[in-house]
Structures are given as C-alpha cells and as structure tokens.
A = this chain, B = another copy of it.
C-alpha cells in the first residue's frame, strides 16, 4: 500500500510534527505511515485525506497483492 503523504506534506511545507499535531496523532505515527512501516487506521486515513483536500483513494494506493 503506497501513499503520497510525504510528497503532499513537504509540498505544503509542513514538518512531520506539524502534520501530526494537525491530525491529533504522534510524530512517530506520521513517520511510520510515510515510510510504510504500518498502515493508518481508516479514520486516520480519512483525516489525512481531508487535511490534504483529496479523497482516500487519491492518497493511498493499494497494491494488488495486499487486496484479498
């Protein structure tokens, strides 16, 4: 599951910490999601998409192999 969080965050000139606090999560969570260390929950995925003004499917791109 790829995502465009880092690209959109840096395009907005935000630090990981700034994005994290805007979303109400920890900085480590943003870092882990950007690096693909784990996937966000559904509400967090919605919160990220809402923050960047895009849809969930525009921010997260499931690979064929992680869909059942």
Contacts and interface: CB of A to CB of B under 8 A. Distances in A.
A42, A49, A50 — most chain B CB neighbours (10 Å): A42
A14 B42 CA distance: 24
A18 to B, nearest CB: 14
Contacts of A39: 41-43
B50 A67 contact: yes
* Identical chains in the assembly: 2
A59 to B, nearest CB: 10
A23 B56 contact: no
Contact of A1 (B43, B56, B66, B67): B43
A14 to B, nearest CB: 15
Contacts of A1: 42-43
